[in-house]
Amino acid sequence: MQLLPVFYLNQVYQQLRLWECNVDIWLAHNGLMLEQLQDPHFQVTFDDYQRLITSAIHLSARPDLGLHVGSRIGINTHGMMGFAILNSSTLKQAVDTLKQFINTRTPLVNVNTHETASSMVITLQAIQPLGVIQQPFMDALLVTIANLLQQTTPLSPAISQVNLGFAAPAYWQQYSALLKVPVHFNQASTQLILTQASLNQRLDMADPSSFIQAKQWCINELKKLDLQQSLSDKLYQYLLQSPMPLPSLSDTATHFNMTPRTLHRHLTQQQTSYKNIVASVNHHIAKQYLSQSTGSIKQLAYQLGYVDVANFRRAFKRWQGTTPSEYRQQKRVK
């Protein structure tokens, strides 16, 4: 099961305290201690990560939690990646650094860029389905990155526009107030648009020597994270991002430059199998679908590659302990 760092969850804790919420209840409800949230090496499962954020929103009754948490996160909160960005020579180098090393801080998102004659477009893309935390997570990430870029160019703001890949929430007016640029909802992707003219301006805090040292640390950290991630974890992430129905064992082995037999052997050594990982991915996708969609269970079964809906129902009950209909009803009650 994927483990996530808690770098930014302490900011959730601090925001709850600022709102005078009972943070002891929040910690106890999630089986955590403050010392764990403040430990840079502590990790939680994705399910726990979801639960921490959703319970914080429930406790505070503030669906705009993500925007406020993002506003709290300064450049120093980003560790060595933030230090490298701060010491970049140009805004373009700062953006390239963010793009290259964002996964040292969170493995849930990718940052992609493309340039036109007049702008650079930064696209934020979730690596896996985020489910119920999609909105608060993207809110926090968007404001965090906007603040990061604005702190590197405080005298000449580089962001000219923000596109959001979701409908305007009830608190939609806060986006423009925080970002101070035009904000457009219901767009194809979540993006920050930078002016081309700002990209090559020399930054006031530029220090090439410090940048090189910080970048090398980030490179080493990425290598360490890659070594820590097992083949089964990488396979799980690959399948989560694949179109439905999921690729075959043979196609997956080709993606990882292995034969099916070699892939099977490696997974056996990790006490799992391709079949078990596919089941875990299908379970995850099914839970997200049943929680957030009103589509039919038959449609879900076919999307997951089940010809017989009854077989899917039996599989889901084996995974979850309840039928798909019962699970959906439980989520609606909550």
151-202 pLDDT, tens per residue?
888 777 789 999 998 889 999 999 999 999 999 998 888 999 999 999 988 8
The mean pLDDT of 201-210, rounded to a whole number, is 90
Going by their DSSP bridges, the two strands 3-5 and 119-126 should be labelled as unpaired
Is pLDDT above 80 for 136? Answer: yes
Is pLDDT above 80 for 333? Answer: no
Percent of the chain with pLDDT over 90: 54
Nearest alpha carbon to residue 149 among 109, 76, 95, 224: 95
Is pLDDT above 80 for 226? Answer: no
pLDDT per residue over 108-125, tens digit each?
888 999 999 999 999 998
* Residue scoring higher pLDDT (291 or 177): 177
Percent of the chain with pLDDT over 70: 98
Q: How far is CA 87 from CA 151, 193, 209, 222, in A?
A: 12, 22, 9, 19
- The pLDDT score that the predictor gives to residue 46 is 85
Q: Which residues contact 303 (CB under 8 A, 6 or more apart)?
A: 244, 245, 289
Using 50, 70 and 90 to split pLDDT, how confident is the model at 1? low
Write down the pTM of the prediction.
0.73
